[in-house]
């Protein structure tokens, strides 16, 4: 009896491995057939980018594709988001796959035949619009995964929810948007998602490769503003007033001392950047007020709270010591993006099927931020990077994200398509 049971277990194990190998081969073949279309989709989206909460044409492009595949489709989610639902041939868990859709207020600077010529108004200024963070590739890869998985629907045990998210880079001032609004509107609850996965292209990682990390992988992002009020006076008589610009320079130095002397950087990095500084109207007038604003990046939730407190204390105390006042406001844009360690351990083999074991590598955390972190608050998640840098190019010569010269080699988007599809079958298994 024991020998019979052991033999049965061996046969079941062999059968399971055989099924997994066959499925992966089927995914490879199906992806190869549609790769030309994936590149075409990506280049169309790149040529016609839209800013957050304005992705109307992009949403329609995605919606039409999902409807052609026979998906249940929901539109207008978190303003311009699209959700496609694929129910497999058998019952099982619900898996979320996410791609962000928005471009950035960046004017493209290259000679690509599909370079963006789109413009818009952003914060009161006319600007070019560009997919300067690769969201066009994310959408194309998820559209590709949708087509591959639709063709394998009967073999899927469970449901796949395809989330095409607007406004990852942040909604317009005064509006809600992005992942927080999607979560608020119940995208994770109907049907109830058990685990969620996301991809980010990287312009400084070679094509054909995937990078991942368990635990914290991307920073929280907070935007802060410090409004300093002094006393206006003639520029020739500074002693007759309180110079808010002078106060601001001292506060700026104090903020960097929070990083250099008050934060335990061996535990996790901290970045405080002032990116905006507004004061005055005339050269010989010391103004009454000045405003500085910037971003805070942390990779530990407790450090995030601690840094907020230190910024408030530093700004108010320095201002008071110089006879001024400082009003500090901090707005949390994203949380720490945290990859569930157990989920990562289980799903790394899926990435190896997509890219080859030798092309899947551990990476370090980064101080960039992602609102994918809000999905993580609901269920375990796994967010990883796919390479977009041309083979043989030096990292130092590859333009970083959010810049006019940002460039992605789209010849290996198949890696992302296959990663999404393998994840679905392996998670179910």
pLDDT band, residue 357 (cuts 50/70/90): very high
Within a domain: residue 7? no
Whats the size of the chain, residue-wise?
A: 429
Same domain? For 248 and 272 the reply is yes
Same domain? For 193 and 239 the reply is no
pLDDT of residue 18: 56
Tokens 């089927």, residue located? 26
Q: Is the pLDDT of residue 201 over 80?
A: yes
Q: List pLDDT tens digits, range 102-113.
A: 999 999 999 999
Same domain? For 184 and 264 the reply is no
Within a domain: residue 301? yes
Would you say 99 and 163 are in contact if contact means Cβ atoms under 8 Å apart? yes
Q: Is 346 left (phi over 0), alpha (psi -120 to 50) or beta?
A: alpha
Same domain? For 348 and 329 the reply is no
Catalytic-labelled residue, pool 55, 100, 168, 222: 168
Please choose, from the candidates 189, 125, 131, 130, the residue with its C-alpha nearest in 3D space to the C-alpha of residue 163: 189
Same domain? For 197 and 236 the reply is no
- Quote the mean pLDDT of the chain: 95
CATH number at residue 368: 3.40.630.10
Q: List pLDDT tens digits, range 128-177.
A: 999 999 999 999 999 999 999 999 999 999 999 999 999 999 999 899 99
Same domain? For 267 and 132 the reply is no
Q: Could you tell me the CA-to-CA distances from 47 to 103, 114, 132 in Å, in that order?
A: 11, 5, 12
Same domain? For 168 and 69 the reply is yes
pLDDT of residue 3: 60
pLDDT of residue 21: 75
Same domain? For 227 and 366 the reply is no
pLDDT of residue 93: 98
Within a domain: residue 55? yes
Which of 276, 306, 334 is at the close of a domain? 334
> For 393, what's the count of Cα atoms within 13 Å in the CB-facing half-sphere?
18
Tokens 């998985």, residue located? 149
Would you say 239 and 345 are in contact if contact means Cβ atoms under 8 Å apart? no
Rounded to whole angstroms, the Cα distance separating 143 from 68 reads: 11
Which of 334, 350, 383 is at the close of a domain? 334
pLDDT of residue 12: 44
Average confidence (pLDDT) over 186-211 = 98
Told to judge if 50 belongs to the known catalytic residues of this protein, a careful annotator would answer no
* Residues whose CB falls within 8 Å of the CB of residue 12, separated by 6 or more in sequence, listed in order: none
Same domain? For 145 and 197 the reply is yes
Would you say 213 and 363 are in contact if contact means Cβ atoms under 8 Å apart? yes
Within a domain: residue 385? yes
Q: List pLDDT tens digits, range 172-196.
A: 989 999 999 999 999 999 999 999 9
What are 119's strand-pairing partners?
128
Catalytic-labelled residue, pool 102, 108, 300, 409: 102
Same domain? For 316 and 344 the reply is no
pLDDT of residue 17: 53
Within a domain: residue 130? yes
Would you say 224 and 295 are in contact if contact means Cβ atoms under 8 Å apart? yes
Rounded to whole angstroms, the Cα distance separating 30 from 144 reads: 10
Same domain? For 31 and 122 the reply is yes
Which of 334, 366, 399 is at the close of a domain? 334
Rounded to whole angstroms, the Cα distance separating 56 from 42 reads: 16
Q: Is 20 exposed, middle or buried (0-12, 13-18, 19+ CB in 10 A)?
A: middle
Q: List pLDDT tens digits, range 366-406.
A: 999 999 999 999 999 999 999 999 999 999 999 999 999 99
Average confidence (pLDDT) over 51-66 = 98
Would you say 131 and 110 are in contact if contact means Cβ atoms under 8 Å apart? no
Question: 171: which DSSP letter?
Answer: P
Same domain? For 54 and 120 the reply is yes
Within a domain: residue 31? yes
- Which three-class secondary structure state does DSSP give residue 300? coil
pLDDT of residue 11: 44
Q: Residue 417: which domain range? A: 18-214+340-428
Told to judge if 283 belongs to the known catalytic residues of this protein, a careful annotator would answer no
Within a domain: residue 325? yes
In the chain, the number of structural domains is 2
Tokens 């406004």, residue located? 167
Average confidence (pLDDT) over 302-328 = 98
Average confidence (pLDDT) over 281-286 = 97
């Amino acid at each position: 009896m024991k020998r019979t049971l052991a033999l049965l277990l061996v046969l079941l194990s062999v059968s399971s491995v055989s099924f997994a190998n066959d499925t992966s081969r089927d995914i490879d073949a199906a992806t190869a057939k549609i790769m030309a279309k994936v590149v075409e989709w990506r280049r169309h989206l790149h040529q016609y980018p839209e800013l957050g909460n304005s992705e109307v044409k992009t949403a329609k492009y995605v919606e039409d594709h999902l409807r052609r595949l026979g998906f249940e489709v929901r539109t207008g989610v978190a303003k311009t988001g699209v959700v496609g639902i694929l129910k497999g041939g058998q019952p099982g868990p619900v898996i979320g796959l996410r791609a962000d859709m928005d471009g950035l207020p960046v004017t493209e600077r290259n000679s690509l035949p599909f370079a963006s010529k789109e413009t818009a108004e952003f914060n009161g200024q006319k600007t070019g619009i560009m997919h300067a963070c690769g969201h066009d590739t994310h959408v194309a890869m998820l559209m590709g995964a949708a087509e591959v998985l639709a063709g394998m629907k009967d073999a899927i045990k469970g449901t796949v929810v395809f989330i095409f998210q607007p406004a990852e880079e942040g909604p317009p001032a005064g509006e809600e948007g992005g992942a927080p609004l999607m979560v608020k509107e119940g995208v994770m609850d109907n049907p109830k998602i058990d685990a969620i996965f996301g991809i980010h292209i990287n312009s400084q990682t070679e094509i054909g490769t995937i990078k991942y990390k368990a635990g914290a992988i991307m920073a929280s992002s907070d935007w802060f503003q410090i409004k300093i009020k002094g006393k206006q006076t003639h520029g020739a008589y500074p002693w007759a007033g309180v110079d808010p610009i002078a106060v601001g320079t001292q506060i700026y130095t104090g903020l960097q001392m929070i990083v250099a002397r008050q934060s335990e950087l061996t535990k996790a990095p901290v970045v405080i950047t002032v990116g905006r500084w507004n004061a005055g109207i005339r050269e010989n007038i010391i103004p009454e007020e000045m405003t500085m604003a910037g971003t805070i990046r942390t990779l530990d939730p407790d450090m995030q709270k601690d840094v907020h407190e230190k910024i408030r204390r530093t700004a108010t105390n320095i201002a008071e010591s110089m006879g001024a006042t400082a009003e500090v406001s901090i707005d949390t844009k994203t949380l720490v993006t945290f990859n569930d360690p157990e989920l990562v351990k289980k799903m790394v083999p899926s990435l190896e099927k997509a890219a080859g074991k030798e092309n899947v590598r551990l990476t370090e955390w980064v101080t960039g931020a992602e609102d994918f972190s809000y999905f993580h608050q609901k269920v375990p998640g796994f967010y990883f990077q796919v390479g977009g840098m041309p083979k043989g190019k030096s990292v130092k010569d590859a333009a970083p994200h959010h810049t006019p010269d940002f460039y992605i080699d789209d010849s290996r988007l198949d890696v992302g398509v296959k990663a999404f599809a393998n994840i679905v079958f392996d998670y179910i298994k």
